[in-house]
Amino acid sequence: MRYLTFSAPGESAPRLGVLDGDLVVSLPGTLLDLIRAGGLKASGYQRQGTDPGPRYAANEIRWHAPIPRPSKNVFCVGRNYLTHIEEGARARGVEVKLPDAPVFFTKAPTSVNGPFDDIPWDRSVTHQVDWEAELGVIIGKTGRNIPKSAALDHVFGYTVINDVTARDVQKNHFQFFKGKTLDGFCPLGPVVVTADEFGPPQGKQIVLKVNGALKQNGNTRDMIFAVDAIIASLSHGLTLEAGDIIACGTPDGCGFARTPPEFLQDGDVMETAIDGIGTMRNRIAAHS
């Protein structure tokens, strides 16, 4: 199943939907409600043999982030691809050092943005807006101290995340959080694909383009810590709840590490895509 949150033509209120080809079938409640209820089967909805809700053409709706307002911060993993670590070390003139454990940080709920919405760029805050294409994991079953062998059983589904980053703010604050959690700096979507449909999360191509030019072209098989290891480590002593979101790190190709460095400008369009999920398109919209 492929879930989304959308507004019908002429409406502003978000609805839950399921993508059926080029059509969107409206469902009651929210995606968080459905996840916490245990999915469609647990909620009593069956795709076959029931009277579906209203249907809309996918190209006529407004797409929101599948979970527009998470109940807590988005968990993120830094330094999870060797090539990204190497490009960062070259850019900073430091030695390459691999992490012994996943490097966690978070993005605030107010950073979450829609898959086709503008990214607000406050030029009074940052002059170095960068991109990071990432696989997003949606937790489906609450748990703590989850063993690696059972970790994927706790996944509801997967989505695309762009961990948009203000590099100068990140540098000035000596940590990840502030530079990565500015308002609108976490576009998410366009859909959440359930784990059964998506299949094994390793081996999926991740691509990011800026104005049509390829910038990132990686694969989730190259993660240092795979999804099961991330969940096992993060849940050690920390309860992961149904509906929590985890961004699993980015491959190489980020703007700050290019020669010369490249940063996003007003009007630039990012396309962020993962095999089996879809493509987000977000335009940079400057203001001050």
The pair of structure tokens assigned to 283 is: 């335009």
Q: What tens-digit pLDDT sequence spans the chain (288 residues)?
A: 999 999 999 999 999 999 999 999 999 999 999 999 987 766 555 554 455 689 999 999 999 999 999 999 999 999 999 999 998 888 888 898 899 999 999 999 999 999 999 999 999 999 999 999 999 999 999 999 999 999 999 999 999 999 999 999 999 988 889 999 999 999 999 999 999 999 999 999 999 999 999 999 999 999 999 999 999 999 999 999 999 999 999 999 999 999 999 999 999 999 999 999 999 999 999 997
Angstrom distance (rounded) from CA 260 to CA 152: 40
The pair of structure tokens assigned to 5 is: 């949150």
What does the DSSP assignment read for the chain?
-EEEEEE-TT--S-EEEEEETTEEEEESS-HHHHHHTTSHHHHT--SSSS----EEETTTSEEE-SSSS-SSPEEEEES-BHHHHHHHHHHHT------SS-EEEEE-GGGEE-TTS-EEEETTT-S-EE--EEEEEEE-S-BSS--GGGGGGGEEEEEEEE--EEHHHHHHHTSSHHHH-STT-EEEEEEEEEHHHH--STT-EEEEEETTEEEEEEEGGGBSS-HHHHHHHHTTTS-B-TT-EEE----S--GGGSSS-----TT-EEEEEETTTEEEEEEEEEE-
CB 162 within 8 A of CB 134: yes
Q: CA torsion 180→185→186→190, rounded to 10°?
A: -160
Tokens 């454990």 -> residue: 101
Nearest CA to 278 out of 199, 161, 186 is that of 161
- State the pTM of this model: 0.95
